[in-house]
Amino acid sequence: EAGVAQSPRYKIIEKRQSVAFWCNPISGHATLYWYQQILGQGPKLLIQFQNNGVVDDSQLPKDRFSAERLKGVDSTLKIQPAKLEDSAVYLCASTLEDRVYEQYFGPGTRLTVT
């Protein structure tokens, strides 16, 4: 079974530029999460999708972050404009609807904002 795919793996941008991350979850997983993980901390939930609908985006900084999952499969997370404090690893995870406790994570995208 293929795992969660993410790209790119690394990205370096200057502040005020924009960036987009892509995630393809495990086939059949209806629930998809985007997390931000700052060095030395645990993953922090940004947004949760169930199929192509948003379940919770209460922690997403909506003035600069946006995310979509148009066909209920792959998803993109965008930051525009980026700030220095956005430097982090952005993790995508997916799971079956009834197994929220067992999430499968992708390798993440390491973003550096200079």
Partner 1 sequence: GQSLEQPSEVTAVEGAIVQINCTYQTSGFYGLSWYQQHDGGAPTFLSYNALDGLEETGRFSSFLSRSKGYSYLLLKELQMKDSASYFCAVRGSGAGSYQLTFGKGTKLSVIP
Provide the binding-site residues for partner 1, judged by CB under 8 A: 4, 31, 33, 40-45, 48, 50, 55-56, 91, 93, 100-108
- State how far Cα 40 lies from the chain centre: 18
- Comparison of 12 and 100: residue with beta carbon closer to partner 1: 100
Smallest distance, Å, CB 22 to partner 1? Answer: 16
CA–CA dist 114, 104 (Å, integer): 30
CA–CA dist 64, 78 (Å, integer): 8
Smallest distance, Å, CB 29 to partner 1? Answer: 13
- Comparison of 17 and 29: residue with beta carbon closer to partner 1: 29
- Comparison of 54 and 84: residue with beta carbon closer to partner 1: 54
Smallest distance, Å, CB 46 to partner 1? Answer: 11
- B/e letters for 22-61, b = 16+ CB within 10 Å, e = fewer, are ebbbbeebbbbbbbbbeeeeebebbbbbeeeeeeebeebe
- Comparison of 14 and 97: residue with beta carbon closer to partner 1: 97
